[in-house]
Chains A and B, each alone.
Chain A
Amino acid sequence: MDPPPGGWKAGDSTGSKSAPGPDVPTAPLEALDQLWFQVSGTVCNLRCRHCFISCAPDNHSFWFMTREQVRQALEDSVELGVKEYYFTGGEPFMNREMEAILADTLELGPATVLTNATLMPRRRARALARLAEDSLYTLEMRVSLDGITREMNDAIRGDGAFERCVEGTAELVDAGFLPIITCMRSWPEAETEGYLEAFRTLLAGLGYHQPRIKILPPLLIGEEVKRTRGYEDTERITHEMLHGFDLGNLLCSRARLVTARGVQACPILLESPAARLGDTLAEAASKPAPLGESACFTCYLSGSICSNTGSTTGADR
């Protein structure tokens, strides 16, 4: 990529520190279209080697949200005109209240769950399908699968993850879902079409004949820094880069993340103190999002990768 007008601006390369200071560019909230919930905190049954927030069974830095906490935010979201609800973690189904939380949400609008599908017995898949059938709104299941083979996936997501994920995906398909298979691109961009075809073949073998596949670019923070690399000093959003740039491409111009302890600018920046915008949704919605984190650079290049549509090839623009 060519340097932006005015050249690159230096930042820290740790990939996890804030870049405080008055010179940090910001993005105002244009509309609160997406409300995200860190519903299982940083607790996950897997310990993935690319996790941008290092979720794990013993990472309790963010704890589960209660059904009541979610209810309160849902109530607030009506006045704020939220269009879509997303649930992430950690693994959302580690939260014992998850099905009840989804039932509450689906009374108001569409819900998407970002899951590794390894905790998806038939009973749960069928219960979720009933929730979806009873609602006017769509319940999307977004399944993280990071490879087309056991070797490829488990090298990132841990031993046994592939088999359990594939089983869970098959249960979801059997229950009537069209899960969105989400995969971090761990190959050169030019090879994406070949991988997409391999994913289609794999999914067809599970009886999934209308496959929806979303390839995401890697986020060079958290565990991924150890697996590959962190962001370079030059990989930062600067004021100059925003000239002529449509801030609407950034998720933080249309979303906020509610956690068990405060509201963040976006789901990627869970651990960023600078991205904590308030105790309440109303407070966080009133403030612009700082773009000083290095991960903001990926969003700048690739658009709103976290949304259900967009960036399905994981390509940089």
Chain B
Amino acid sequence: MIAAREGDRAPSETTSATPLWRPGPFATSEVPEVKKVAAFGGIYSNHRALEVAIADATGRGADLLLCLGDLGAFGPHPDRTAEILRQAEIPVVRGNYDDSIARGLDDCQCGYTDPKDNHYARISYEYTLANTSPEHRAWMGSFPHELRFRLGSLEVLAVHGSPRRMNEFLWETTTPTHFLDGLVREAGADVLLGTHTGIHWSRPLGPGRWYVNAGALGRPPNDGNPEVWYAMLEEVDGELAHEFVPVSYAVEELANEMADEGLPEEFIETIRTGWWTTCLEVLPGKERGRGRH
């Protein structure tokens, strides 16, 4: 049994375009249970990493590929990411970036207040908004806030931030186990799957019960290595088995595209070096301390 909670539709000026996509598997409730799911966190317009990850996850036998939202930000040509996801019919959970782009909001709803973070967030958002087609904006407006499905015997709730807030950061070092346990119990799920932070991590909450943060495909997890990551999950004997999968992709080609588009050198530095240069305010002390900036 698979169920999607419908998101808000995009405003009429964007929904007037004829949708190009066909309904994906989550558009109906008739899709069978899945056995192995690949979860992609924030793509951030890194269409090159996305293509590699799709091929990699398919090769590893995933029977469901799922995107947890935030298609845009940082990277070039946001329409390319949208086209890849739509062509592959990958269901997408609504991220705050998608919500903002679909609705034409003033900002990305990341909640930055630091002037430097805001400066770069504004550049990133304005570029993405200006370069996302009306058709893709309408498509983003159809993304549900959450997706629920069965992974073998386990019930999985997939969200962007948390079940209660699309843009809630759940960092490893500031999220207590009892808090996660409450979220999962309240959701009536066994596994809570999310992203939004850009750094992958997971924690067991009890037998067959887990929180998994898939991290991001769009940029490295502030670890000094340009590889990006996704999460692979399956059920084995009633327990969740999962791994985080590194993805190597054509970093220099993406960097060249970003430079050609006039995107900030700071964004390019991050995908080249693996160190975050912007959006640092929201990082907790431990995660920030592991980085260079």
What residues make up the interface of A, taking CB atoms closer than 8 Å to B? 31, 78, 81-84, 108-110, 132, 136-140, 176-178, 192-193, 196, 210, 212, 309-313
Contact = CB atoms under 8 A, between A and B. Distances in A.
Contacts of A140: 284-285
Interface in B133-192: 164, 171-176, 178-179, 182
Contacts of A78: 178
Contact of A313 (B111, B113, B289): B113
Interface of B: 111, 113-115, 164, 171-176, 178-179, 182, 280-282, 284-289, 291, 293
A143 to B, nearest CB: 12
A137 B174 contact: yes
Contacts of A176: 289
A290 to B, nearest CB: 25
Contacts of A311: 113
A192 B173 CA distance: 30
Nearest to A209: B293
Which are the 5 A-B pairs with shortest beta-carbon distances? A109-B176, A138-B173, A81-B182, A138-B284, A110-B174
Contacts of A108: 176, 178
A110 B178 CA distance: 12
A137 B280 CA distance: 18
A176 B284 CA distance: 14
A84 B169 CA distance: 13
Given A178-B288, A193-B115, A196-B115, A83 B282 contact: no
Contacts of B172: 136
B111 A309 contact: yes
Contacts of B182: 81
A110 B173 contact: yes
A7 B73 CA distance: 41
Contacts, number: 72
B281 A309 contact: yes
Contacts of B285: 132, 138-140, 177-178
A193 B118 CA distance: 13
Contacts of B293: 210
Contacts of B164: 31
Contact of A212 (B115, B288, B291): B288
A186 B153 CA distance: 59
A212 B288 CA distance: 10
A138 B182 CA distance: 20
Nearest to B289: A178
Nearest to A78: B178
Given A110-B174, A138-B284, 14 more contacts: A78-B178, A82-B178, A109-B176, A110-B175, A136-B172, A137-B286, A138-B285, A138-B287, A178-B288, A210-B280, A210-B289, A212-B288, A309-B111, A310-B111
A110 B284 contact: yes
Contact of A83 (B111, B174, B280): B174
Contact of A309 (B113, B289, B291): B113
A157 B173 CA distance: 32
Contacts of A132: 285-286
Nearest to B116: A196
15 contacts: A81-B179, A81-B182, A83-B174, A110-B175, A136-B173, A137-B176, A138-B284, A138-B285, A192-B115, A210-B291, A309-B111, A311-B113, A312-B113, A312-B114, A313-B113
A193 B179 CA distance: 37
A196 B119 CA distance: 15
Contacts of A309: 111, 113, 281-282
Nearest to A139: B285
Nearest to B174: A110
Contacts of B280: 210
Nearest to A111: B174
Residue among B174, B282, B285 with max Cβ neighbours from chain A (10 Å): B285
Nearest to A79: B178
A31 B186 CA distance: 13
A110 B176 CA distance: 7
Contacts of A138: 171, 173-174, 284-287
A139 B178 CA distance: 18
A55 B2 CA distance: 57
